[in-house]
Structure 1
């Protein structure tokens, strides 16, 4: 084991230097950000198994993928999608074109000014401690466009973002500002049917009493990879409901990062990842309470079949200033094969002494008694297994905003039970 780990970094990083050299010159509104990202990538090594946060995440797939940035000359064709609901604005993010072109924004939604973008871009990444993470620098080095929007005070907006990965690198950057008492329902779909890498960095700042309901559905293929950072910053009395679903990717790594700036906010996290074959799905979440009376309800679920590998690390930080925090974190996992693997590590770091905090983790297989019960009522074995797996997933799926759930077809969630 030691010899293989020592050899891995050399094989993994061999592609990085020539890839950086082949990137087109920095250009556009994010040229300065691109320069900083490329310098950072050149100066730091690729994450390796020697690092605790990456020891279960094999990045060797990246060396095999076409990683030329997506080009406007090769437009992406979206697969058929359900008709958008009448009050939902659907935008296509391709990393190249202006997603707002040709659209009339609903009342209460407006683009951020150049000055606001310069001030806000990267702020929440820094506040949540991930501005120097390797996947973030990768996004910085290549993203040429940012979707930057403001939701006005007391406005209610429903938004849907859709992206289809070409046979290339698709860097997506989103910046959201929710003013006081603003409400945003955001559904985002990332789709990949061919080889390539989707890189997503989303930042959102919620002012006092604002609310964000965010559902991310990412459906990939075994020859595609996803690297995503979701950084959210909450002022007092704000509320976030964040639900993520990933399935099908050869490699998928999501890092939700939440900061309750002065506490007194509410955060609800729901996650579901499905792996089979030799797929890897890795979620590293981080929640930081910056003040008292914060609320956290986190549930992460995984289904692993074949030789798939699921990884979950959930860190919750409760410093002395965060008295009367109420935080609950649970990892529940379904193991469908003796060759699949689940690594789960919920963790609490508590310094405050007046808190209610709990965490736990379970790993189980389909229950023989439940399968027998369904089969005894005329349901065949495969259908019974599918029903039980669907029921296991439903606790997370039902939390998705309706547009995101509509694009989460049942057949994509049916893993082989043997």
Structure 2
């Protein structure tokens, strides 16, 4: 067995004078790996390569186009440390369990696999759900064909995540396997005395003709509502890679319910081959700062992509969604709808980019960002983009920014509702268009309750 830690020379950071980024890298590199053979060599190689990328980088600022509206000052004011293993009781799971997946759950706590809380006994043969360290030997030989292959260039936080890989969630569905039971990937932060940096890594592979469903859930232990701010800061820096081979289909529900002290920066990188279908239902309701980079790469014709998102911010929260869809083949379809509900001094950022080059003929792409401002101090920066050079396509994009319509509230009041109930009915309807796309009733109910709680006057 190898017991490796990539080496870091702090003097390397004198080039860019970014000691803070160097500190984060040191925290990540303190996570040891215990892989042998081909997998061990591969992990060491990608960790070192990514560490070198981080060394050459700086923390993004407003001078970087992709980050010009996202202020990371609050993150940089905190000194994060490596997490430790926590022993949580099963009672903790009561607030996170998915009724539809009682025996298809994989749990990581502070980045460490928890076999005691995990249970995948309901899943059939032909599908592996577990951690990277326990992956079947034949699949370990193929990991290098998938892990880090979707990682974008010049993205410092995903490189930071890779430099600290020591284990990972793995979902691997063999060819021709169809499973209706949702696979629940649950990451829980148990806050510690010192601020911690947690870097979950997820690898999902759907082989030819597979069909499956995944729920990726981020939450934190708390007494009462997790939205409360208690000065117990932590940073979740996550990366998810998804590979869908020919005619594979995945419905992906990504739920972010970090605490009011949580910083969350995440990457979802998806590679779609011919005739594959990918749908994401993304709900973001928590976190002090939330940033999600969604990167879709079409690697074959006739791919189908659906991007549904709802972000809700209040207080001084920041929520940022950056999506990029690259269509490189003909007959692809993309449908994107992302909504924001912004209250108090909440700040939302949306940047959605769809590239349709000349090779992507017969493409059908729509993109819409809708924003609801509930406070005069709330703000949204929105930038939907279509970059088209193909000449035989159907493409449309747009953005709307509005408040609750006075005539709609008046209409509901004329039907017997008071002003507060009328307001909440309109907000529930606005959010439900996204939440109701999730195919699990228990999760819909829980998220609907969260939205209602956050909009109480």
Q: TM-score, normalised by structure 1?
A: 0.89
Residue 64 to residue 31, structure 1, CA distance change in 2 (3 Å): farther
Equivalent of 1:149, from 162, 171, 181? Answer: 171
Which sits farther off after the overlay, 380-389 or 312-321?
380-389
Task: Note the alpha carbon deviations across 1:146-189, whole angstroms, 9 max, x for none.
Answer: 12232122212320111112332221111111111101111121
Task: Note the alpha carbon deviations across 1:225-275, whole angstroms, 9 max, x for none.
Answer: 111111111111111111101012110001111111122111011011111
* 2:184 aligned residue: 160
* 2:107 aligned residue: 92
* 2:199 aligned residue: 171
* 2:447 aligned residue: 408
1-side partners of 2:94 and 2:78: how far apart? 22
**Do residues 191 (structure 1) and 247 (structure 2) align?**
no
2-side partners of 1:249 and 1:25: how far apart? 25
Task: Note the alpha carbon deviations across 1:182-220, whole angstroms, 9 max, x for none.
Answer: 011111211134521112211111111110000111112
- SS of the residue corresponding to residue 258 of structure 1 reads strand
Residue 79 to residue 49, structure 1, CA distance change in 2 (3 Å): farther
Which sits farther off after the overlay, 172-181 or 374-383?
374-383
Equivalent of 1:388, from 407, 426, 430? Answer: 426
State the shift of 1:417 in Å.
7.9
1-side partners of 2:365 and 2:291: how far apart? 24
Which sits farther off after the overlay, 280-289 or 385-394?
385-394
* 2:75 aligned residue: 62
State the shift of 1:83 in Å.
5.2
2-side partners of 1:144 and 1:390: how far apart? 41
State the shift of 1:409 in Å.
4.3
* 2:336 aligned residue: 298
2-side partners of 1:196 and 1:413: how far apart? 26
* 1:4 aligned residue: none
* 2:9 aligned residue: none
Which sits farther off after the overlay, 405-414 or 278-287?
405-414
**Residues 8-407 of structure 1: matches in 2 within 5 Å?**
13=18, 15-21=20-26, 25=30, 27-28=32-33, 29=35, 30-65=43-78, 67-73=80-86, 75=88, 77-78=92-93, 80-82=95-97, 84-85=99-100, 89-94=104-109, 95-97=111-113, 103-104=120-121, 105-110=123-128, 111=135, 113-125=139-151, 130-157=152-179, 158-167=182-191, 168-192=196-220, 193=226, 194-402=232-440, 404-407=443-446
Residue 294 to residue 103, structure 1, CA distance change in 2 (3 Å): closer
Residue 210 to residue 99, structure 1, CA distance change in 2 (3 Å): farther
1-side partners of 2:31 and 2:259: how far apart? 30
Residue 66 to residue 166, structure 1, CA distance change in 2 (3 Å): farther
Residue 22 to residue 396, structure 1, CA distance change in 2 (3 Å): closer
Equivalences, count = 403
Task: Note the alpha carbon deviations across 1:336-361, whole angstroms, 9 max, x for none.
Answer: 11111011111000011111111011
Aligned 8 A contact 1:228 1:255 in 2: yes
Q: TM-score, normalised by structure 2?
A: 0.82
2-side partners of 1:18 and 1:169: how far apart? 11
For structure 1, the 5+ residue unaligned runs are 1-11
- SS of the residue corresponding to residue 429 of structure 2 reads helix
Residue 287 to residue 86, structure 1, CA distance change in 2 (3 Å): closer
Aligned 8 A contact 1:294 1:324 in 2: yes
2-side partners of 1:102 and 1:391: how far apart? 35
Residue 304 to residue 345, structure 1, CA distance change in 2 (3 Å): same
- SS of the residue corresponding to residue 52 of structure 2 reads helix
Higher relative contact order (CA 8 A, sep 6+): 1
Task: Note the alpha carbon deviations across 1:278-300, whole angstroms, 9 max, x for none.
Answer: 11000000001111010011101
CA RMSD of aligned residues (A): 2.4
State the shift of 1:107 in Å.
2.3
2-side partners of 1:380 and 1:61: how far apart? 40
Residue 409 to residue 71, structure 1, CA distance change in 2 (3 Å): farther
1-side partners of 2:290 and 2:93: how far apart? 21
For structure 2, the 5+ residue unaligned runs are 1-16, 36-42, 129-134, 221-225, 227-231
